[in-house]
Amino acid sequence: MFRFKAFRAIDDPKRCENFIQGHADVLRQYGVTKVTSSNNDWMFNPFVYVITVEMEDTGEIVSGLRIHIAHPKYPLPMEMAVSQVDHKIFDLVKQYSIEGTGEVSGLWNSKSISGYGVGAVLLIRAGIAIASQLKLGSLLALVAEYTLKPSLQKGFEIEEGIGNSGTFFYPKLDLVATSIVMKDPYGLPKADQSEREIILGIRNNLQCEKVEIGPKGEFLVKYELLLENPDWRKDV
C-alpha cells in the first residue's frame, strides 16, 4: 500500500531529508547531476508544502512533489531556472501572485514503482487537490515532455508568455521543458471531466483509503492530505 502524506516542509525535516535523497538518486539515474530546482534550501522555506509517497510497510519514500508559494523573499524554482534564458518570468510570477500562486515542483518517481501511475497521475491530482487548502488563485509548473499531457488533462494550460511559446531546453539541452499554468484550481474548468471529478473527490475526502487502478492493476492508497498549517499568509 502507498501512503500519500501532505505537510509543510519546515514541520517535518526528516521527511524532507528522505525526499531530497530519493529525488537526487532518481536524477542521477537519468544523468542529471545539477538542477536549479534541486537546491535543498526549500526544506527551510515556510512557504513550501510537500506531498510524499511512502511504502506503508517500510516507510521508504518512493515519490514526491513540492508546492512552492510565491513570495518576494523566496523565488520560485522556475523563476531561478527560467530567468537564465527569459527575465519575463519575474513579471509573470508577480502578476499571478496578486491572487496567490504556487509552483508544483520537484516531482519525482522511483524506478522501483514505475508503471503504477503514481507520479504522473496520482501525485499531480493530489497536488491540485490540496491547492484549495492553501487558497491559491493559480498553480504554475515547469514540466518535462512525459508529464505535459497528464498535466493538461488535469486542467493546466501552456503558459506561452515566456520562452519559445512556453518551451525551454532545461535542465539539459536535449531535454525540453514546458511552462504551464492552472488559472482556476478550484473549479478546474480546463480539466477533462473524469479528471475533474476524481480531483474534487479527493479534495472532499482528504483523509481516506482508496483502491486505485494503474497500468499494473489495482493497488491501495492511503491519502493523508489534510494540512496542519495551511495558512501561509500569516507569515507574509
The residues near 63 (Cβ < 8 Å, ≥ 6 apart) are 22, 52, 53, 108, 109, 110, 113, 118, 119, 123
Paired strand residues for 107: none
Cβ atoms 199, 154 nearer than 8 A:
yes
Model pLDDT for residues 73-107, shown as the tens digit of each residue: 999 999 988 888 888 999 999 999 999 999 999 88
Domains annotated on the chain, with CATH: 2-235 (3.40.630.30)
pLDDT in the model for residue 173: 58
Q: What is the three-class DSSP state of 200?
A: helix
CB contact set of 3 (below 8 Å; sequence gap of 6+): 53, 54, 55, 56, 221, 222, 224
Phi, psi of 2 (to 5 degrees): -95, 140
Dihedral, 8, 155, 145, 167 alpha carbons, nearest 10: -90
Q: What is the pLDDT of residue 236?
A: 61
pLDDT at position 82 is 87
Name the grid cell of 60: 521508504
| Structure confidence at residue 85 (pLDDT) | 83
Residue 33, pLDDT score: 66
Q: How would you write the pLDDT of the chain (236 residues) with one tens digit per residue? A: 999 999 999 999 999 999 998 888 887 777 776 655 547 899 999 999 999 999 988 989 999 999 999 999 999 999 988 888 888 999 999 999 999 999 999 889 888 888 888 887 899 999 999 999 999 999 999 988 888 998 999 999 999 999 889 998 766 656 788 999 999 999 999 999 999 999 999 999 999 999 998 888 889 999 999 999 998 987 66
Residue 23: per-residue pLDDT: 87
Q: What is the pLDDT of residue 206?
A: 97
